[in-house]
């Protein structure tokens, strides 16, 4: 579950309790609210929560579409951090459909992206420590009396 708001808490609580109908109502209320007051971060969270719920209820084709929409939004607005959770749920959906090849492709993408991001962070760290720090030129103000 995404940990970004009260609707996620409600969805998670119902799912843990085994009530799979109530989360649908909370997710729909969240969707309506986001249609009125859209925020990218919350739309990604909704795609993730709704996708996981759809997987859990066996609506796997809908889950794949929802999760792919969330992934597209992550790509559009440059939010790679949220991709891993969406990709993990997408793997579950593909496995549920018996499409192990698609599940493996999704896992490969997730692993490659994670490794690439780690390499980029290391490269940034190495390059920032290799460049000498900039020095401030200090101008002294002396007054003669």
pLDDT tens per residue across all 145 residues of the chain: 334 444 556 676 666 667 677 788 888 888 999 999 989 999 999 999 999 999 999 999 999 999 999 999 988 888 877 888 898 899 999 999 999 898 898 888 878 877 887 788 888 888 887 666 565 555 555 555 4
Spatial separation of the C-alpha atoms in residues 33 and 112, rounded to whole Å: 35
C-alpha distances in angstroms, 37 versus 20, 32, 40, 43? 26, 9, 10, 10
- Structural domains counted in the chain: 1
Domain-embedded: residue 65: yes
Spatial separation of the C-alpha atoms in residues 47 and 42, rounded to whole Å: 9
Domain-embedded: residue 40: yes
pLDDT of residue 54: 94
CATH number of domain containing 40: 1.25.40.10
Q: Is this prediction's pTM over 0.75?
A: no
Domain carrying residue 48 = 6-118
Residues 7 and 26 sit within 8 Å (Cβ to Cβ):
yes
């Amino acid at each position: 579950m995404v940990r970004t708001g009260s609707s996620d808490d409600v969805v998670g609580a119902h799912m843990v309790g085994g009530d799979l109908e109530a989360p649908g109502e909370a997710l729909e209320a969240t969707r309506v609210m986001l249609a009125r007051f859209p925020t990218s971060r919350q739309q990604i969270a909704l795609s993730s929560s709704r996708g996981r719920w759809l997987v859990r209820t066996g609506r796997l084709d809908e889950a794949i579409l929802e999760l792919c929409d969330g992934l597209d939004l992550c790509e559009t607005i440059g939010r790679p951090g949220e991709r891993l959770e969406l990709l993990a749920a997408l793997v579950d959906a593909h496995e549920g459909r018996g499409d192990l090849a698609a599940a493996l492709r999704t896992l490969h993408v997730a692993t490659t992206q994670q490794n690439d991001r780690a390499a980029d962070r290391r490269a940034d760290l190495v390059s920032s420590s290799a460049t000498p720090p900039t020095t401030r030129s200090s101008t002294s103000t002396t007054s003669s009396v």
